[in-house]
Amino acid sequence: MTRRGARGLLLAGALGGFLVSLAACESAVQRQRVTLCRRAVPALVPGETDLRILRAGSASTADSVRVDYAIGPRPHAALCRFNAGAELIGITNDGIPLGGAALYLLKRYYLDTPDAEAADPGRAVRQN
């Protein structure tokens, strides 16, 4: 093998490794986003015991996650928007945006608590 061919192989291997690690990082961020959005749903519909998560996963834009859920027979949807990482910057529930103060309180006093983890309605739900 020529020196040039070896260098090309080494470069291709390095690029491939970088892309694999980038994809793994992206999927970890996406999992965090889905979990945060899913955990927010019980706070958006307090007191509902018949809450079922139907689907949780990517939405129409790269920085958003959609959680489809049902209360009894009625379907609902929560759309969560994120910054480039996994910081929640907005929630719309059934087309109604959550106000700034409510979003702040949700993030500050609920989402990262053991209560939110325990109330997570869809830990075993299909993600896509």
Q: What pLDDT is attached to residue 55?
A: 96
Q: Name the token pair of 119.
A: 């109330």
| Whole-structure pTM value | 0.76
* Under-50 pLDDT residues of the chain: 8, 10-25, 126
Phi–psi pair at 3, nearest 5 degrees = -60, -40
Q: What pLDDT is attached to residue 24?
A: 42
Q: What pLDDT is attached to residue 123?
A: 67
Q: What pLDDT is attached to residue 127?
A: 53
